[in-house]
């Protein structure tokens, strides 16, 4: 990575549950996981959904972590719902002795002290998983944080604020020498105290990654579910003076076609809007942000279109007769 730049990579962008439906392939079906690499080389992982497994594979292919390499990273978990932690047992770098991981999240009122470590232990306990936590040989440290906390990690100042989500959730602001990224998934608008905290967290950010699981119509019908819409994200981006808005935590039933329509509507009101997709990379530096979406996503789109056409043809012609 060139000097004085920060790189934000999207490994999982779907909310609630993974999707393998071909109609969601272009944007991706893995649940939340982002990777942030800052100018001094510090590595941050934001949430541990199924995208975390893909991040581990990406590191192995790049020679970042494995037999001959060691990696150290800081993992910030927003909350303990399954879609944000379910990738942890499948993250290969946790099974390598040379690696070191620092985990950060809040103390849950339902779990008490050491909440994140207890969550990790529980989802690998019998009879839910074939091996327990002792199989993970990487060094692990757990730090409890709360809304309002600020800490410096390497060259980056990290601020946490409470978001409006059932059982609690944290949003994070990462101020790097190359620019500021705000990660605010799983937040329901409408509660003044939380809305104010989110505006302060997002103020002047170069990139705001914001929950947009529902359409405005769905949001009106699903009060208390803890999610937002693209329209609320646009309003927030304008009020907070954000430079780039990323719609995130896509509903598992939102097809690529649906996401395209949502993105078009959002861009009519806020031009610098992006819909998060797996493999998307945002590079911050020199007072600008470059966005790259891999061509491979288009290949998946064509493949999905071909599969839909084949299914339609089968429905038209009926089941093939078995040869005797």
Which residues, at least 6 apart from 117, have a Cβ–Cβ distance to it below 8 Å?
103, 140, 142
pLDDT at 318: 59
> How far apart are alpha carbons 247 and 272 in whole angstroms?
11
pLDDT at 176: 98
Q: Which two tokens stand for residue 220?
A: 């009106």
Count of beta carbons in the 10 Å neighbourhood of residue 279: 19
Which residues, at least 6 apart from 81, have a Cβ–Cβ distance to it below 8 Å?
167, 186
274: pLDDT strictly greater than 80: yes
Write down the H helix ranges in the chain: 51-62, 115-123, 192-202, 216-221, 230-240, 256-269, 296-317
Write down the H helix ranges in 31-145: 51-62, 115-123
pLDDT in tens, 232-249: 999 999 999 999 999 999
User: Any idea which of 148-162, 169-183, 305-319 has the lowest mean pLDDT?
Assistant: 305-319
pLDDT at 214: 96
pLDDT in tens, 202-226: 999 999 999 999 999 999 999 999 9
Per CATH, is 6-317 categorized as 3.60.15.10? yes
pLDDT at 69: 75
pLDDT at 323: 41
For tokens 């910030």, name the residue: 76
179: pLDDT strictly greater than 50: yes
pLDDT at 181: 98
Distances (CA, A) of 278 to 20, 33, 159: 13, 10, 26
The sign of the dihedral angle between the CA atoms of 230, 108, 9, 159 is: positive
pLDDT in tens, 76-132: 999 999 999 999 999 999 999 999 999 999 999 888 999 989 998 999 999 999 999
Top pLDDT among 288 and 304 is at 288
286: pLDDT strictly greater than 90: no
The answer to whether the CB of 81 falls within 8 A of the CB of 105 is: no
Q: Which residues pair with 161 in a beta bridge?
A: 171
Kindly state the percentage of the chain with pLDDT values over 90: 84
Rounded to two decimals, the pTM is 0.90
276: pLDDT strictly greater than 70: yes
> How far apart are alpha carbons 209 and 248 in whole angstroms?
6
For tokens 């819409």, name the residue: 229
> How far apart are alpha carbons 117 and 123 in whole angstroms?
10
Return the domain boundaries, the chain. Answer: 6-317
The answer to whether the CB of 49 falls within 8 A of the CB of 87 is: yes
């Amino acid at each position: 990575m060139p000097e004085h730049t920060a790189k934000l990579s999207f490994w999982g962008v779907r909310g609630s549950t993974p999707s393998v439906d071909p109609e969601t392939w272009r944007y991706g079906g893995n649940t939340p996981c982002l990777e942030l690499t800052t100018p001094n080389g510090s590595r941050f992982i934001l949430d541990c959904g199924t995208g975390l497994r893909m991040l581990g594979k990406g590191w192995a292919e790049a020679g970042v972590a494995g037999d001959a390499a060691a990696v150290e990273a800081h993992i910030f978990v927003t909350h303990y719902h399954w879609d944000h932690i379910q990738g942890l047992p499948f993250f290969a770098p946790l099974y390598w002795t040379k690696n070191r991981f620092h985990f950060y999240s809040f103390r849950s009122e339902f779990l008490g002290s050491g909440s994140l470590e207890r969550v990790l232990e529980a989802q690998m306990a019998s009879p839910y998983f074939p091996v327990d936590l002792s199989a993970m040989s990487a060094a692990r440290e757990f730090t409890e944080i709360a809304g309002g906390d600020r800490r410096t990690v390497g060259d980056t100042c990290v601020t946490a604020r409470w978001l409006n989500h059932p059982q609690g959730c944290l949003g994070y602001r990462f101020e790097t020498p190359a620019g500021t990224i705000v990660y605010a998934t799983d937040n329901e608008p409408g509660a003044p105290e939380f809305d104010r905290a989110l505006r302060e967290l997002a103020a002047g950010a170069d990139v705001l990654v914001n929950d947009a699981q529902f359409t405005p119509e769905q949001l009106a019908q699903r009060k208390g579910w803890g999610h937002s819409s693209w329209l609320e994200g646009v309003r927030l981006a304008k009020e907070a003076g954000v430079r780039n808005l990323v719609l995130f935590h896509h509903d598992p039933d939102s097809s690529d076609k649906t996401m395209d329509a949502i993105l078009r509507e959002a861009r009519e009101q806020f031009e610098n809007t992006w819909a998060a997709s797996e493999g998307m990379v945002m590079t911050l530096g020199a007072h600008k942000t470059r966005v790259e979406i891999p061509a491979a996503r288009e290949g998946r789109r064509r493949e999905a279109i071909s599969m839909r056409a084949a299914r339609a043809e089968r429905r038209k012609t009926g089941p093939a007769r078995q040869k005797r």
